[in-house]
Structure 1
Amino acid sequence: MELMGEPREQSSRHPFVQHRMPPMTEAAARRALLRFMSSRCCYGSRAAGDLAIQCLRQAGTYRYRLETFSESRLSEWVFEPFTKPGAAGSPGDAPLDLWDVEVGPPPLFQGRTRRCRVPCSALVRDCHRCHGHGRSKCRVCHGAGQTRCVTCKGSRRRLKQQKRCQLCSGTGRKRCNTCSGRGSKTCVTCQGEKKLQHFKQLVVTWKNNVFEFVSEHHLNFPGELLSKVSGESIFKDENVMVYPIIDFPEPEISLASQRAIAEHNAAFATSSRILRQRQTIELIPITEVHYQYSGKPYLYYIYGLENKVYALDYPERCCCSCTVI
């Protein structure tokens, strides 16, 4: 495919070659089923060893995938205790545009979020919580520095003995443990610095947006299972912007490519920046295995390069919840 910045046509033409699926043998089909049995407690292994495979019907389907790696930016006001006088910048400095702030991106097609300060956006103000005093009234004693004695409940005498309370020396009050009797505490917002530095924080989000389409396979097989396996890569196109595929032997794939690129460009080109796009086509093998057991016909499917198994009507099972590996 073309390198970044090179001129290119308005569509992805490619001399598509007819790919043959990896051959499935009877021995490989039986091994895949036995591996399936070993991972399912409710399936018996006797049928897998005694079944008679009648035929293997190989099919396949194409999976088209478009990945659009985008970057979006927004800012939010945050603050911190102002501890470094002179660090806020000159009052005349104008804050940078969000897209002018240099932030190194992560590896391509890997989502991530980063936060950093926007240069020249800092403002120093008195703390809004303590009004610039550095301390705030204690919420326990309400600034009095004392609280009611927990032993005599403020009555100055012990309730049962009617003697002067020794804990508070008959005053009915004792020093507040929360503020150590000062009536105020160090402000938790400015941490006693009296001032806050407000600044714009840049939030950069990289996201890998994926469009996936699997062509019709005309088999009694759940299509959603194919998203969990890999296939043979037969086409890959990566650039800043990719163009729709045309002349693919399966027309559904060409139409899916056109729709995907149009949807992604409309969705992400205005609200964010598209950094890179990648489109691929994979051929996913599916084998329909017909066999007999105890004189009755059955079938199961082997799919993906991992040779996963889907067996809906396996003859030896005690429940119906384990059909896929």
Structure 2
Amino acid sequence: MEQEMKADSDPDLDPEPGRPLTPSAPPGWLDDCERIVQGRGAKPLPPPLDPPGKPGEQRSRPSFVQHSVPPMTEAAARQALLRFVASRCCYGSRAAGELAIRQLRQLGTYRYRLETFSESRLSEWAFEPFTKPGAARPPGDAPLDPWDVEVRAPPLFQGQTWRCRVPHSALVRDCHRCHGHGRSRCGVCHGAGRTRCVTCKGSRWRLKQQKRCQLCSGTGRKRCNTCSGRGSKTCATCQGEKKLQHFKQLVITWKNNVFEFVSEHHLNFPGELLSKVSGENIFKDENVAVYPIIDFPEPEISLASQRAIAEHSAAFATSSRILQQRQTIELIPITEVHYQYSGKPYLYYIYGLENKVYALDYPERCCCSCTIV
């Protein structure tokens, strides 16, 4: 899950706690108030041409061997069904305990997964009330290139988002909302300091009592509660500080992009269930850039590897920096269980190392048609 991290070193990299950052426009356009407020102008940054690391030398091709599915016993198959039945309110356990298992057909399928851990950077202008006179950086220091800002990357293949300031990018200007006054006209009384009396509705008289309105002393108007009669209120943009500090904000996103493929198993079994279970890891390759798998006993896996690497390279190489890649192959066990109950044949499947169950037509059901764990 993505989360935000705070910098703990250079003060230029530390967003001040409690200060909401509102996107703004570059300082050259600070007179365009609407552009500042709406925050247009944020743009993604293409990565530098030189990658942070180089892929290692291509290793010798692994010699793939045919892997066998771990054996399933009748006792384990029955126990898996009993756990499945216990998790269903409308399934009876008697059939699971009394059924006669006729055949255990050991099957398996391969799952290929490619993970590409990438880093992308977005530059946008932000501002905050300027509360530290004399703290602005003197002109002349050129802001760092956003890709030159050094940050600590999270653990590999774990997504995060981090926001920080680009050093030397701060500029101080009068608040565009109040034009440097620190206060703005009250929107309730429109600067008058007084509003129509809600009791007499501005008529000055209480019609039912036939006397002057006591709440407004017969004036028909009363002091504005929003601005306390001043006609203006503290500017919400600069919070009364009169000035804003504009700075470039860097949004860094680390993302784990996943490509997954499960080979065809030709069973009466929903393939999407296999994404929820684990299998036996039979191959793992990790590097800055991995190479396509070839000569795997299941040709579909080799083709999936070639397609995945090509797709990730086309999708991420030009818009982000690829930090690491990892490809794995898992063997997911599937057992087809044929059994009899009350003289009729039935079938259910046990899949994954967790021994999950998919029951097509469990014989003892009383209300709903739940079949999947």
Structure 1-normalised TM-score? 0.94
Q: How many residues align?
A: 321
Q: Give per-residue Cα distances to partners, 1:260-308, cap 9 Å, x unaligned.
A: 1111111101110101101011110011111111111111111100001
The letter of the residue matching 1:74 is: L
CA RMSD of aligned residues (A): 1.6
Question: What is aligned with 1:48?
Answer: 96
Pair 1:28-2:76 in alignment = yes
- Is the CA contact 1:88–1:120 (under 8 Å) kept in the aligned structure 2? no
The unaligned stretches of length 5 or more in structure 1 are: none
Shift in alpha-carbon separation, 1:47–1:211, aligned structure 2, 3 A? same
- Corresponding residue of 1:276: 324
The corresponding residue for 1:255 is 303
The answer to whether the aligner puts 1:109 opposite 2:135 as a matched pair is: no
Kindly state the Cα deviation for residue 319 of structure 1 after the two structures are TM-superposed: 4.7
Of residues 163-172 and 28-37 in structure 1, the stretch that sits farther from structure 2 once superposed is 163-172
- Whole-angstrom CA distance in 1 between matches of 2:366 and 2:132: 71
* Residue number in structure 2 paired with 1:8: 57
Question: Quick check: 1:200 aligned with 2:248?
Answer: yes
Other-structure match for 2:134:
86
* Alpha-carbon distance in structure 2 between the residues aligned to 1:215 and 1:141: 70
Cα distance in 2, alignment partners of residues 236 and 263 from structure 1: 19
Moved more, 297-306 or 138-147: 138-147
CA–CA distance in structure 1, aligned partners of residues 111 and 93 of structure 2: 33
| 3-state SS in 2 of match to 1:267 | helix
Query: CA deviation digits over 1:84-132, x for unaligned, max 9?
Result: 1233322222222111111211111111111111112222221111111
- Residue 125 (structure 1) aligns with: 173
Q: Distance in 2 between matches of 1:146 and 1:48?
A: 79
Structure 2 spans left out of the alignment, 5+ residues: 1-52
1:38-79 Cα distance to aligned partner (Å, 9 max, x none): 011122211111111111110101111000001111111111
1:153 is paired with a residue whose SS is coil
Alignment of 1:176-255 (within 5 A): 176-255=224-303
Secondary structure (helix, strand or coil) at the match of 1:30 reads helix
Whether the aligned pair in 2 keeps the contact of 1:303 and 1:309 (CA below 8 Å) is: yes
1:174 is aligned to 2:231: no
Task: Work out which of the two has the higher radius of gyration on C-alpha atoms and give 1 or 2.
Answer: 1
Percent pairwise identity:
88
Q: Distance in 2 between matches of 1:6 and 1:324?
A: 43
- 2:56 touches 2:287 (CA, 8 Å); kept in 1? no
Summarize the Cα distance change of 1:197–1:313 in structure 2 as closer, same or farther, 3 Å threshold. Answer: same
Change (3 A) 1:151 1:296: closer
Partner of 2:28: none
| Aligned counterpart, 1:311 | 359
> Separation in 1 of the partners of 2:304 and 2:167?
44
Alignment partner of 1:133: what SS? coil
Structure 1 residues 28, 159: CA separation in 2 closer, same or farther (over 3 Å shift)?
same
